[in-house]
């Protein structure tokens, strides 16, 4: 019996970049910057990106970072990284 092609997996997240593991909560980049959660807020520096809540494992600093930059992010406080984007709670308003 011949093996058939593997079934097409349905994606659980919708992203133009596929299921990038760097945006998964719990991911830690090589600079020890850990993804805490997706905030859903729109990035001000990259219009197609949303902001993720990152935390530095060295100093505990919390800041926002767009999804594309997570993998090479440096802590703005102790690693001379670029200033973090503001962390905002997901707005309860219907009119964003
Ligand atoms: Zn730090």
* Mean pLDDT across 15-30: 79
> Which pLDDT score is estimated for 13?
47
> Which pLDDT score is estimated for 20?
56
- Distance from residue 85's CA to the centre of ligand 1 (Å): 15
- Distance from residue 34's CA to the centre of ligand 1 (Å): 11
The residue length of the chain stands at: 96
- Distance from residue 76's CA to the centre of ligand 1 (Å): 7
Is the Cβ–Cβ distance between 55 and 81 less than 8 Å?
no
- Distance from residue 14's CA to the centre of ligand 1 (Å): 30
- Distance from residue 57's CA to the centre of ligand 1 (Å): 7
pLDDT surpasses 90 at 33: yes
CA distance linking residue 96 with residue 92, whole number of Å = 9
pLDDT surpasses 90 at 91: no
Q: pLDDT per residue over 46-58, tens digit each?
A: 889 999 999 999 9
Q: Per DSSP, which regions of the chain are E strands?
A: 33-42, 50-56, 62-66
Among 45-49, 66-70, 77-81, 86-90, which is the least confidently predicted range?
Answer: 86-90
């Amino acid at each position: 019996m011949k093996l058939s092609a593997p079934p097409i997996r349905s994606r659980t997240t919708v992203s133009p970049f596929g299921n990038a593991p760097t945006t998964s909560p719990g991911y830690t980049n090589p600079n020890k910057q850990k993804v805490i959660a997706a905030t859903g807020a729109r990035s001000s520096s990259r219009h197609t990106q949303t902001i993720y809540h990152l935390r530095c494992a060295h100093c505990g600093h919390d800041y926002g970072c767009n999804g594309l930059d997570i993998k090479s992010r440096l802590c703005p406080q102790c690693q001379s990284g670029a200033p973090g984007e503001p962390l905002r709670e997901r707005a309860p308003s219907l009119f964003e």
